[in-house]
């Protein structure tokens, strides 16, 4: 029996490539000199797509008339046109759960770095200022006694909240609805959440529903002692409003692992003294990335072996 043909438009981690090659005929489009010509030769044979770091939209979907599944890499899937796939009866999957703990660790670490200015303090040492007997200025903010507002209390949000409890933080949250069995204080709007806390943790996914949800009004509600942490998606924060709020003291500081136009970070953000930036490394340990990549492969294997995916995106469950 012939192996199903799988398209790999972008490079995946070697562990996933090797796993897929055991059971499928894998076409690595990223290796082709002329991708359009190569795709035209194989398009009708392709029954699945193993997606790495890159978009999947209608332009590619329409060239794959027999595709059955698009297996995405990452818990976020705003780079995949899910409505278009739904319209063509194409299953879409992502890789939740396997990265929850890693991202939650990063979120707490970034929060502490931003509030205590640890990245800036390290740079102070590297630049030789400490050796010149210049102590780093005492930070005006502390983690102690803060109220953490979590925007997006899903799997990762709950893992962050559990860690934050150990720091003695009072935890509030906002989402589409109040959750049963959750003891944290719920707020009916994001602005209301911001007004009730001084540390806003953004864990929400990207997409039209959350585009610029953290805007000037929300930042004003957060207030002058407020710190914004974003480990969700860059599109959730209006970066222009954020820069203005930081420059004029509307809020105190920010810790950002994601940005609107990655890998480009606005110079204005980088020049601000109380902004900590990371290059989208929330889940970027080798162990976690390998687990994510294997889940991409496992979703495709499960689809062709059982007709069911392991981790379909929520829209596919309706």
Report, as residue numbers or ranges, the catalytic residues. 233, 262, 280
Task: At 3, list the tokens.
Answer: 């192996």
3-class SS at 168? coil
Asked if 283 contacts 102 with a C-beta cutoff of 8 angstroms, the reply is yes
Long-range contacts, stretch 167-176, CB < 8 angstroms, 24+ apart: 167/108, 167/143, 168/144, 169/143, 169/199, 170/146, 171/147, 172/147, 172/148, 172/196, 172/197, 173/149, 174/149, 174/150, 175/151
Q: Do residues 216 and 238 touch, judged by C-beta distance below 8 A?
A: yes
Please provide the distance, in angstroms rounded to a whole number, between the alpha carbons at the two ends of the chain. Answer: 34
192 Cβ neighbours under 8 A, 6+ residues apart: 174, 221
**Beta-bridge partners for 92:** 70
């Amino acid at each position: 029996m012939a192996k199903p043909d799988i398209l790999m438009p972008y490079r995946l981690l070697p562990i996933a490539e090797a796993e897929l090659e055991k059971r499928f005929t894998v076409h690595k489009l990223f290796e082709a000199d002329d991708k359009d010509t190569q795709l035209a030769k194989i398009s009708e044979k392709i029954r699945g797509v193993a997606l790495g770091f890159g978009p999947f939209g209608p332009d590619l979907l329409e060239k794959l008339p027999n595709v059955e599944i698009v297996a995405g890499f990452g818990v976020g899937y705003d780079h995949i046109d899910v409505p278009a796939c739904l319209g063509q009866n194409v299953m879409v999957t992502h890789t939740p759960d396997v990265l929850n703990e890693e991202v939650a660790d990063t979120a707490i670490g970034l929060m502490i770095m931003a509030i205590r200015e640890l990245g800036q303090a390290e740079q102070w040492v590297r630049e030789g200022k400490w050796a010149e007997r210049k102590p780093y200025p005492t930070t005006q903010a502390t983690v102690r006694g803060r109220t953490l507002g979590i925007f997006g209390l899903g799997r990762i949000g709950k893992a962050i909240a559990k860690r934050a409890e150990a720091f003695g933080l009072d935890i509030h949250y906002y989402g589409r609805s109040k959750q049963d069995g959750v003891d944290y204080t719920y707020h009916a709007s994001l602005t209301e959440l911001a007004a009730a806390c001084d540390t806003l943790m953004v864990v929400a996914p990207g997409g039209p529903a959350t585009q610029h949800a953290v805007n000037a009004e929300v930042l004003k509600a957060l207030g002058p002692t407020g710190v914004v942490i974003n480990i969700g998606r860059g599109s959730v924060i209006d970066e222009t409003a954020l820069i203005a709020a930081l420059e004029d003291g509307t809020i105190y500081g920010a810790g950002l692992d994601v940005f609107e136009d990655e890998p480009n970070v606005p110079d204005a953000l980088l020049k601000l003294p109380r902004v900590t930036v990371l290059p989208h490394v929330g889940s970027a340990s080798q162990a976690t990335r390998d687990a994510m990549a294997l889940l991409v492969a496992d979703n495709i294997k499960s689809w062709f072996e059982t007709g069911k995916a392991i981790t379909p995106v929520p829209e596919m469950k309706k």
